[in-house]
Amino acid sequence: MTSHPVISLRAVTAELGARPVLRGIDLTVHRGEVVALLGANGSGKSTAIRTIIGQVPVSGGAIELFGTPRRAFRDWARVGYVPQRTTAVGGVPATVTEIVSSGRLSRTRFGVFRRADREAVHRALELVGMADRAKDSVNALSGGQHQRVLIARALVAEPELLIMDEPMAGVDLASQEVLARTLKQQVDSGTTVLLVLHELGPLEPLIDRAVVLRDGCVLHDGPPPQAVGQHALPGHDHVHPHAPAGTEPLRTGLLS
Amino acid sequence: MDLLNYAFMQRALLAAVLVGITAPAVGIYLVQRRQALMGDGIGHVAMTGVGLGFLLSTSPVWMATAVSVLGAVLMELIRWYGRTRGDIALAMLFYGGMAGGVMLINLAPTGSNANLTTYLFGSLSTVSQSDVLSICLLAAFVVLVTLGLRRQLFAVSQDEEFARVTGLPVRALNLLTAVTAAVTVTVAMRVVGLLLVSALMVVPVAAAQQLSRSFSATFVIAVAIGVAVTVSGTITSYYQDVPPGATIVLLTIAAFVALTVLAAPLARRRARAAAAAQPAGDPAECTLPATREAGDEIIV
C-alpha cells in the first residue's frame, strides 16, 4: 500500500463563464477518512467535487486521485459517485435495476454482464433496502428512495472512494436512516468518503474532518465546526433522525 | 398481396421495415437525453447533402449521409463549447442547411423542385436498387450501435456526469449517438422524407412509454410500433395513392393516442397494486400517532 492521499487538490482554480468559482483550493483526503465539504450556496463546494470527477475543467492547480494526476487517471472502478439527484432524470422510463446496472459498467469488459455483475447489482440494492423495488420504474419512487437507488449505483462497483454531492437533500427521514446506516457500513469496511453537505445533520457522528468553503476559498479545515448561530442557542434540541424511533431527543435547552 | 409483385414495392417495403427498426432505436436515446428534436435538425442539414448529390451527380443518399454526419458532429461540438448563444448557432446550422439544399438542387442540371419534394416528404416509387443497398448497410450500422452499445449509451444518456465517473468515453459516445442519428435520418429519407423523419424517432418511443416501466421494454415496444406503422403506412400509401411519409406519421400519432387511451386503466390498476403493496401500517389517510417520535421535533 502506498501512502498517497486518495484525493489531493493543490491550488485549484476554476471558472464558470468568466466568474471565478474556485480561487485556489487545497484539499487532501487520506485513505479511510470521511471528509465533509461545507459552505453556503455558491461557495463552490459542488464545483470543487465536479472538478475532481472531471465534469468542470480547472484553470489552474493540480488534482490527483490515488496519486495519479486526474487527467491520466483511468481506474474509475475505484471511485463511486453520487451526483445531485436532479441530474439523473432521463426522458424514458427506467427500472431500478437498469439504473443500478449502469454503475457496474466500470467493472465489465465492453459492457457485457456476467452472473457476478448481476449478483453485485442485487447486493447493492439490498444494502440500501431497495431489493424489493428492483423491477419498479424509478419515476414511481419518492425522493428518498431515488437517492438510495443512486447510492446503490455508486456502490455496485465496490469502490474504495465514495464522492457524494448533497446526499441528504430532499430525503425523507426513513431514507436518511438507511443512508446513514449504509454509509457507516462502508466507512467501517475502510471506504474513503468525500461528501458535500449543506449541514452536518444526521451524518455528523461519521465525519472525521470538515472543510468549509466560502467564495471559492477554504475557510476552515479541521474538526467539524461547532454549532453556531441559532443552532447553538439554548433551547435548541439536537435531533438525530437516525436514532431509534421513540427515543427522546437529546435535550440541551432550557426552554423545553 | 399483389403489391409484392412489383419490384419497386418490394424495395419500398424493405426500406420501410428498416426505417421502422432504426428510427425508434436511435430515437429512444435522443428522447432519453431530452434532445427529441435533434433528428429534425439533422433532417434540415441533410438537405444540403441531397442538393450536393444532384449537383455533383452522385448518389444523394451517400452525400446526404456525409453532410448530415458532419452536421451532427457540428451540433455536438456546439453543445460542448456553446455557451449562451448555442441555440442561435444551431438555428443557423438548421436553416443554412435547408436553404443550401434548395439552392443547390435548383443549380443542378437534373434537379427540380419535384425531386426535392420526394426527399422532403418521402416517395415509394423512387427507392432505387442502389438506394436499397445503401439503406441496408446504413441500417446495419445503426442496429449494431444501438443494440451492441445499449448499456453504454443508456448510461451516458441517463446521467452524463455519472457516466464520466464510470470511466466511459462520454464525448466519443455522444458523438457516436449524433452520427448514428444522422445515419438514421438518411435511412429514413427515401420513405418518410427529411421533414417527417424526426416524428418516427420520437413518437413511437412516446407511445411505448404509455405501456412500459423499463428502458428495455420501451425499446422493444417502440421498435414494434415503428415497424407496424411503416409497413402499414407503406401499404396504405400504395392502395390509396397518398404520400407515404404523411401516412406513416399520422398512423404513428394514431398509435400514440390509442395506446394512451388503452393504458389509462392499466396505469390505474398499477397504482392500486402499488397501494396494496404498501405495508399495512402505512394507511393512506392521516392519523395522529399516539406517541411522539424523535423526528416530530421541530428544529429551530
Q: How far apart are the C-alpha atoms of A165 and B37, rounded to whole Å?
A: 31
What's chain B's Rg over C-alpha atoms? 23
Q: How far apart are the C-alpha atoms of A27 and A207, rounded to whole Å?
A: 15
Please give the backbone phi and psi of residue B57, each rounded to the nearest 5 degrees, phi first. 55, 40
Q: How far apart are the C-alpha atoms of A239 and B95, rounded to whole Å?
A: 60
CB-CB neighbors (< 8 A) of B154 in chain A: 94, 98, 102
Q: What is the pLDDT of residues A146-176, one digit of tens each?
A: 888 999 999 999 999 999 998 888 788 888 8
Are A94 and B214 within 8 A, CB to CB? yes
Average pLDDT over residues A205-210: 88
What ranges do the domains of chain B cover?
A: 2-195
What ranges do the domains of chain A cover?
A: 7-225
At B228 the pLDDT is 96
| Minimum mean pLDDT range among A98-112, A194-208, B270-284 | B270-284
Question: Helix, strand or coil for residue B168?
Answer: coil
CB-CB neighbors (< 8 A) of B150 in chain A: 111
Residue A251 pLDDT > 50, yes or no? no
At B275 the pLDDT is 65
DSSP conformational letter for B299: P
Are B162 and A17 within 8 A, CB to CB? no
Rounded to 5°, angle at Cα A211 from A206 and A216: 145
Q: How far apart are the C-alpha atoms of A237 and A254, rounded to whole Å?
A: 10
**B2-195 maps to CATH 1.10.287.70:** no
Are A92 and B300 within 8 A, CB to CB? no
Q: Which residues contact A57 (CB under 8 A, 6 or more apart)?
A: A14, A51
State the 10-residue block means of pLDDT for chain B, 300 residues long: 81 92 94 87 89 83 89 84 69 88 84 77 82 90 94 92 89 92 88 89 94 93 96 92 90 94 82 62 52 51
Q: How far apart are the C-alpha atoms of B140 and A250, rounded to whole Å?
A: 66
Sorting pLDDT into bands at 50, 70 and 90, what band is A228? low
3-state secondary structure chain A: CCCCCCEEEEEEEEEECCEEEEEEEEEEECCCCEEEEEECCCCCHHHHHHHHCCCCCCCEEEEEECCEEHHHCCCHHHEEEECCHHHHCCCCCCEHHHHHHHCCHHHCECCECCHHHHHHHHHHHHHCCCHHHCCCEHHHCCHHHHHHHHHHHHHCCCCCEEEEECCCCCCCHHHHHHHHHHHHHHHHCCCEEEEECCCCHHHHHHCCEEEEEECCEEEEEECCCCCCHHHHCCCCCECCCCCCCCCCCECCCCCC
Are A55 and B161 within 8 A, CB to CB? yes
Q: What is the pLDDT of residues A25-52, one digit of tens each?
A: 898 999 989 999 988 888 888 899 989 9
At B277 the pLDDT is 59
Q: How far apart are the C-alpha atoms of B196 and B248, rounded to whole Å?
A: 9
What strands, in cross-sheet order, belong to the sheet with A34-39? A79-82, A161-165, A192-196, A34-39, A209-214, A217-222
At B82 the pLDDT is 66
At B204 the pLDDT is 96
Which among A93, A173, A237 has the least Cβ separation from residue B214? Answer: A93
Query: From the CA of A6, how many Å to the nearest CA of chain B?
Result: 15
At B281 the pLDDT is 44
Q: What is the mean pLDDT of chain A?
A: 82
Is A224 touching B (CB cutoff 8 A)?
no
At B14 the pLDDT is 92
Q: Which CATH class is domain A7-225?
A: alpha beta
Contact B178, B17 (CB under 8 A): no
Which among B28, B32, B213 has the least Cβ separation from residue A95? Answer: B213
Are A76 and B293 within 8 A, CB to CB? no
At B143 the pLDDT is 95
Q: What is the dihedral of CA A159, A160, A162, A163, to 10 degrees?
A: -110
Contact B166, A103 (CB under 8 A): yes
Are A79 and B291 within 8 A, CB to CB? no
Q: Which residue has the higher pLDDT, A226 or A117?
A: A117
Is A197 touching B (CB cutoff 8 A)?
no
DSSP conformational letter for B112: -
Tell whether pTM > 0.95. Answer: no
Closest alpha carbon within chain A to B290: A246
Sorting pLDDT into bands at 50, 70 and 90, what band is A238? very low
Query: From the CA of B300, how many Å to the nearest CA of chain A?
Result: 6
Which among B214, B291, B295 has the least Cβ separation from residue A173? Answer: B295
At B223 the pLDDT is 97
Neighbours of A255 (CB within 10 A): 10
Q: How far apart are the C-alpha atoms of B165 and B155, rounded to whole Å?
A: 11
Q: How far apart are the C-alpha atoms of B210 and A137, rounded to whole Å?
A: 13
Are B214 and A137 within 8 A, CB to CB? yes
Are B300 and A236 within 8 A, CB to CB? yes
DSSP conformational letter for B84: T
